[in-house]
Structure 1
Amino acid sequence: MTYINLPRDQQTAISDVDETVLRSAVHKCLDEERVGPIHGLGLSDCGHYVATKLHGFQQAIAEYGKAKAHAKRERNRQDALRAGSDLIHAVQQMKGRLETERHEGELFFIDDQIRPPFHLSKRLSVQVPFRWRASQFSDWKHGQLTFVYDFSPQPSYILPLPKRKPSAAQVARDLEDSLYREWERLKAQGLFSMREFFRDGGDGDAVPAMFAVRPSPYGGGLNNFSCNFWQPERPALLALIEN
């Protein structure tokens, strides 16, 4: 699963979509009241966001084609128009994201293909490899930052208490599931923080080899600032933002 980088196949699919052809196909679908004209554009390969908008447009066209009464047909046509616009906008957004990734990739790249370890303990860690350079004409430098987090599972006061005491095996499975979810959160926060650091012009030479993650002092585990290794801890400011 990727967090900050578009997979290669999605990059290719997004690049291959011609916006003029797409817009024409959307209007043709509306005129013909069928989704055939939009097939073959590779939209379902452009990622979940575009695929979701594509599905919404297909459903809207189907409802428009089934409507008989004049008033309902007009409502359904407007719904289909909006769904078509949403689809076009989604493709435009993904093209913009792809362009941003390619532009940023000239100066830095953060590897988000990170697999969880075979065994997880309450001391969680995520190693994030990266490369950077000062300009397009400089040599690449490589580094790696390890985020370390001592996780303390908290009891849930939302779920009802079990009628029977869980077995030791069930407790172990629940803990493993909790550790895996928290590890995924740690990975995501670490990747987002690394990207923010480099987007703001951060120097890769200033990235530490290891960073002790700062959980929220007000409970709840990780927050949006926990992995910001370049920022000093500011409890008063964090309290103001979180409240």
Structure 2
Amino acid sequence: MTYINLPSNQQAAISDVDETALRTAVRKCLDEERIGPIHGLGLSDCGPYVATRLHGFQQAIAEYSKAKAHAKRERTRQDALYAGDDLIHALQQMKGRLETERKEGELFFIDDQIRPPFHLSKRLSVSVSFRWRTSPSADWKHGHLTFVYDFSPQPNYILPLPKRKPSAAQVEGDLEDSRYREWERLKAQALFSMREFFRDGGDGDAVPEVFAVRPSPHGGGLNNFSCNFWQAERPAP
């Protein structure tokens, strides 16, 4: 699973779709009341964001084609128009994201392919590798930053108490699950913070090798600032 980088196959698919051809196909689908004209554009390969809008458009066209009464046809046609616009907008957004990634990729790249360890302890860690350079003509420099976090799961008072006392194995299994969920959150926050740092013009030479993550002072674990290694610790209110 990727967090901040589009997979290469999605990049290729997004690049291959011509926006003008998509607009023409959407209009043709509406005129012919069938989804056929949009097949062959490769939209389902453009990632889940576009694929979800494609599915919505397909459903809207199907409802429109089945409608018989005048009022229902008018309503379902409008629904299909909106769904078509959503699909076109989704492609535009992904093309914009791809352009941003390619432009940023001339100066920095953060590897988001990070696998979880086989076993997790209280001390969670995520090591993020990256490369950067000061200009597209400069040589690449490489580095990595390990985010470490001592995780203390908080009891969930919303859930009802179990009727039976859980076994030691179940307690350990639940704890392991909570650690993996928190590790995934740590990975996401680490990657987003690293990207924000470089987007704001951060110097890779200033990145430390290890950073002790700061959990929220209000409890609840990580927040949006926990992994911002370049910011001074925020004082408690």
Q: If the TM-score is normalised by the length of the shorter chain, which range does it land in?
A: over 0.9
Deviation at 1:235, TM superposition (A): 2.5
Q: Which amino acid aligns with 2:41?
A: L
Tell me the alpha carbon deviations over residues 51-98 of structure 1, each in whole angstroms, 9 at most, x when there is no partner: 000000000000000000111100100000000000000000000000
Residue 128 (1) aligns with residue 128 (2): yes
- After the TM superposition, which parts of structure 1 deviate over 3 Å for at least 4 consecutive aligned residues? none
Which residue does the alignment assign to 2:102? 102
Secondary structure in 2 matching 1:142:
strand
Quote the Cα distance in structure 1 between the aligned partners of 2:155 and 2:166: 14
Residue 171 (1) aligns with residue 166 (2): no
Deviation at 1:119, TM superposition (A): 1.1
Unmatched runs of 5 consecutive residues or more in structure 2: none
Which residue does the alignment assign to 2:83? 83
Secondary structure in 2 matching 1:9:
helix
Which residue does the alignment assign to 2:112? 112
Deviation at 1:234, TM superposition (A): 1.5
Q: Which amino acid aligns with 1:215?
A: P
Tell me the alpha carbon deviations over residues 154-182 of structure 1, each in whole angstroms, 9 at most, x when there is no partner: 10011111000001110111011000000
Identical-residue share of aligned pairs (%): 86
Which residue does the alignment assign to 1:224? 224
Unmatched runs of 5 consecutive residues or more in structure 1: none
Normalised to the residue count of structure 2, the TM-score between the two structures is 0.99
Which residue does the alignment assign to 1:26? 26
Which residue does the alignment assign to 1:214? 214
Which residue does the alignment assign to 2:74? 74
Which residue does the alignment assign to 1:47? 47
Deviation at 1:7, TM superposition (A): 0.4
Which residue does the alignment assign to 1:196? 196
Which residue does the alignment assign to 2:152? 152
Tell me the alpha carbon deviations over residues 17-76 of structure 1, each in whole angstroms, 9 at most, x when there is no partner: 000100000000000000000001110010000000000000000000000011110010
Tell me the alpha carbon deviations over residues 134-172 of structure 1, each in whole angstroms, 9 at most, x when there is no partner: 001110000000000000011001111100000111011
Which residue does the alignment assign to 1:56? 56
Aligned-CA RMSD value: 0.6
Quote the Cα distance in structure 1 between the aligned partners of 2:73 and 2:91: 27
Q: Which amino acid aligns with 1:147?
A: F
Tell me the alpha carbon deviations over residues 112-149 of structure 1, each in whole angstroms, 9 at most, x when there is no partner: 00001111001000000000000011100000000000
Secondary structure in 1 matching 2:138:
coil
Q: Which amino acid aligns with 1:15?
A: S
Secondary structure in 2 matching 1:234:
coil
Secondary structure in 1 matching 2:161:
coil
Quote the Cα distance in structure 1 between the aligned partners of 2:170 and 2:39: 48
